[in-house]
Structure 1
Amino acid sequence: MAYTMLLLIIFEDGGRKVISGVENYGCLAESDIFWFDKNGRRSFLPVPQVRYFGSAFDYDEC
């Protein structure tokens, strides 16, 4: 079984979304896009609409 994590996304408007089962995530800096992989598929979010994008565990530790 592959390792998965909880991905926390906090949007500029203050809204939050936690996505479970995320296999990997990152940023396409040249495109201003965040991405994450879940269930073998990649999803994308525009960087300007996001305040925080990363591990829920790491955010809670701050």
Structure 2
Amino acid sequence: MEARLAIDDFPIHKSAALAGLGVTMLPTPLCHEELRAGRLVALLSQHLSEAINRWNLPL
């Protein structure tokens, strides 16, 4: 599957997700308020947490 929007700027990723243009990966501090308010939804957070723990990746 090819990306519909290829950008390297987190604020633009966030704006696109808020506009309903698709799924993105954002640092939690950048979207904490939107997650809390329900404007964005965390997907696969359990899987990501497991991967970080498995590989001892620093947060």
Coarse TM-score class (shorter-chain normalised): under 0.3
Higher percent of residues as helix = 2
Larger Rg belongs to:
2
TM (normalized to structure 2)? 0.23
Higher percent of residues as strand = 1
Q: Using CA pairs below 8 Å that are at least 6 residues apart, which structure has the higher relative contact order? A: 1
TM (normalized to structure 1)? 0.23
